[in-house]
Amino acid sequence: MQNGAFYTGKYPNLFAEIGIAQDKIEQKINDTFNTMFFDPEEKIYFETGENMAYMLDTGNNDARTEGMSYGMMMAVQMDRKDIFDRLWLFSKTYMYQSKGKYQGYFAWSVRPDGTKNAEGPAPDGEEYFAMALFFASKRWGDGEPPFDYSVQARDILRHCLHQSEMVEGGEPMWDHSNYYIKFVPEASFSDPSYHLPHFYDLFALLAGEQDMYFWYKAAEASRQYLHLCCDGDTGMAPEYAEFDGTPKRLFHDWQFYSDAYRVAMNIGLDAAWFNKNETLGDIVDKLQAFLSENTTLGEYYAYTIKGEPFDEPAMHPVAIIATTAAGSLAAKGKYGLQWVKDFWELPLRKGDRRYYDNCLYFFSLLMLAGQYRIYI
């Protein structure tokens, strides 16, 4: 049943469903945004020079395509073209690769002064860059390069799919045999949290007729892939997974860990926008039930996807609460609204590790307020 906001124009507001007044919701969104972008002690947004800015990963003291593209999406949702353009100009100036096998991609990590920490890209950055740019084109119109937003977005997606044809030695970010996004272009495995079928359905309409079929197939494949990789009992997703869905050991033995928390949030937004696969809500129901019945709110560890804890505290406990609550947009179980209530009462994270938690906090806040909008 196609009853998502893309078809109806109506975005669910779960905060209103639990009795929060609209003025309180708007105030919390604005206060959160202002803290993250402008509070002298707690911000993660830093302006540099006359016309650039970066989003600082406060735990690693770098700027990442993940955070830069997140900041751009936040800015376009909040109608802040000034912030958006500063972040985009920094990204194009210091992260964009103009030669070599990564030409057309963005280096995934740079220092605050723009010096590259790595040459390779991270595909989640590219997909967020492209979606934020398309939305910016609709909200504000295309300007002169590099602010010809829709042109820039289409160029990013052409490289994502056709890098091997466009650049000598290049590898695409999507596997053309199964339509899955890869962890990095050279990898033959994926990161479940990179799978954003709600973006791909929009890319099919915006990226160019020649790739429409691919993006529709990618959306369908990603919705199925989440069923493959999320555990059937706990609903937990692994950080990294083989193309057959089995967890992939990469940097550590932990499975349900930092990247993986985003899966519930992504399922929630996909349901709010398109709701093409209601069975994805079953994953969130299982996750919410497992966490509600087997853990204490905020006291989390690294886990296997079976829910077996390691002796390693979760690095981002605020992110777990925020994203699991955002999954309530797809959930049908008895714990959904309780997670929304718990999240509403949760403050932003402070300290060195606030970057990742608070980015996911703000996205989840927008989603649950019905304020994470489609602009096409």
pLDDT at position 2 is 72
Residues 6+ positions from 262 with CB-CB distance below 8 Å: 193, 323, 360
Give the mean pLDDT of 119-148: 98
Q: Kindly report, residue by residue over 77-116, the tens digit of the pLDDT.
A: 999 999 999 999 999 999 999 999 999 999 999 999 999 9
Q: What is the pTM of this model?
A: 0.98
Sign, Cα dihedral of 276, 281, 284, 286: negative
* Domain range summary for the chain, segments of one domain joined by +: 1-42+232-376, 44-141
3-class state of residue 78 by DSSP: coil
Catalytic residue numbers read: 66, 259
Residues 6+ positions from 80 with CB-CB distance below 8 Å: none
Q: Kindly report, residue by residue over 254-267, the tens digit of the pLDDT.
A: 999 999 999 999 99
| Residue 184 Ramachandran class (φ > 0 left, ψ -120 to 50 alpha, else beta) | beta
Q: Are 58 and 46 in contact (CB under 8 A)?
A: no
Q: Kindly report, residue by residue over 31-55, the tens digit of the pLDDT.
A: 999 999 999 999 999 999 999 999 9
Which CATH architecture fits 1-42+232-376? Alpha/alpha barrel (1.50)
* Amino acid letter, residue 286: K
Cα–Cα distance between 351 and 298 in angstroms, integer? 16
Q: Kindly report, residue by residue over 296-320, the tens digit of the pLDDT.
A: 999 999 999 999 999 999 999 999 9
| Encoded tokens for 58 | 């406060």
User: 47 has which bridge partners?
Assistant: 53
pLDDT at position 45 is 98
Q: Kindly report, residue by residue over 191-236, the tens digit of the pLDDT.
A: 999 999 999 999 999 999 999 999 999 999 999 999 999 999 999 9
Residue 1 in this model has a pLDDT that exceeds 60: no
Residue 151 in this model has a pLDDT that exceeds 60: yes
Residues 6+ positions from 221 with CB-CB distance below 8 Å: 178, 179, 180
Which contiguous run of DSSP H or E holds residue 121?
none
| Encoded tokens for 70 | 């997140």
| Encoded tokens for 110 | 């740079």
Which contiguous run of DSSP H or E holds residue 290?
helix 280-294
Higher pLDDT, 44 or 3: 44
Residues 6+ positions from 138 with CB-CB distance below 8 Å: 375, 376
